Amino acid sequence: MRFLFKTSYAQDLRLAKHGGQVFWYGLLCLLLVAAPLFTPEYWLAQLTFVLIYAIVGLGLMLLAGYTGLFSLGHAAFLGVGAYTQAVLTGMGWPFFLSLGCAAGISAAVGIVVGLPAMRVKGIYLGMATLAFGFIVEEGFARWESVTGGNSGMPVGTPEVLGYALDTATSFYLLCLAITAACTLVILNLLRSPTGRAFVAIRDSEISAQSMGIHLAYYKTLSFALSAAFAGIGGALYAHKLQFISPDQFSILQSIDLLLMIVIGGLGSVHGAFLGALFLISMPQLISLGKDWLPDSVGQSPGLQGLVYGVVLIAFVLFEPMGLYGRWLKVRTWLQMFPFYRQGMFKRQKTFQKSDRLR
């Protein structure tokens, strides 16, 4: 009996649950590495943005999806990482050292935000992080001696071991390697005691506290780690655009990031990647659909926001687990076909937190 328990526990801690996952994830990695060989430069650039936003999404997923703390000012951490990388690489610092500083400074800012935010939760936490985002954006615009103000500042090409990554392929491969490393860090963190403490806080703070989990410490740690991942994404974002300005890190960017993880699927690492894919591909699909709409509708400046709102409402009403939740249902249907029961895939009311303990 003890042997069976140890075997089951060891299987729960493995990154790959079975050989099928090893095969399919390995095939996906090979396709991503070989993508520059058969992908046009434009679509390779879009895939690079997907990887960058996926890194930011992993951090925000850790904060919102696994700890239950929603942030409406996450673009501020993205901006801190971007400006730190731009300033330090402009001073001649090595790329990876600048990247580490961008993550560290963003994490420090996350701690500063997380400490006073521990006294509030829910909508009040959202308001506090929203105010923080406005403050940071205004700071970027006013600190002209460092950030260049509203005029923005250029960002140089990254250099790794003396080699300039000035081609789309080389920078894509760099982003792919960093994304893979960040994903492994998140996966290992979530199966550690720290990750389990995050999930316990999300499900019920009272129950987590009764088990000896220090709420303030783990909430602050979640903010710091989430901000660090956003800082890494911001550093790569700055190098990809090669120009940054304060308006790139506004409240609209924060809403896009939150929309990304909600539509991708809260509480899943896969949701961060699916959400990033949605966020990058949706403007392209809207641009293609404009040709089929009347000019009064297709040329409307608020069309993209309208489409985002309709999609978000549709997911909240019909698929609250996001794109990843829908994929799980499709996969289960395929596995059980033709022996599935009618109505088993209808939406059921589920709650992350226990109502009696709120």
Round the average pLDDT of the chain to a whole number and report it. 84
pLDDT at site 331: 81
- Per the CB < 8 A criterion, the answer to whether 199 and 268 are in contact is no
Q: Does the pLDDT of residue 346 top 70, yes or no?
A: no
More confident residue, 334 or 297: 334
H/E run at residue 154: strand 153-154
**Token pair for 309:** 């709102």
pLDDT tens per residue across span 196-209: 999 999 888 888 88
- Per the CB < 8 A criterion, the answer to whether 81 and 209 are in contact is no
- Per the CB < 8 A criterion, the answer to whether 268 and 253 are in contact is no
pLDDT at site 13: 58
Alpha-carbon separation of residue 108 from 31, 98, 242 (angstroms): 36, 15, 25
Nearest to 99 by CA among 239, 220, 222, 273: 239
- Per the CB < 8 A criterion, the answer to whether 31 and 186 are in contact is no
Domain boundaries of the chain, sorted by first residue: 41-251
User: Counting every residue, how long is the chain?
Assistant: 358
Residue-wise over 62-77: b if at least 16 C-beta within 10 A, else e? bbbbbbbbbbbbbbbb
Which whole number is the average pLDDT over 348-358?
46
- Helix/strand/coil for 204: coil
Q: Does the pLDDT of residue 229 top 90, yes or no?
A: yes
| pLDDT above 90: percentage of residues in the chain | 30
pLDDT at site 145: 84
pLDDT at site 342: 62
Separation CA 203–CA 218 (nearest Å): 14
Query: Which of 2-6, 8-12, 72-76 shows the highest mean pLDDT?
Result: 72-76
Nearest to 213 by CA among 229, 197, 224: 197
Q: Does the pLDDT of residue 291 top 50, yes or no?
A: yes
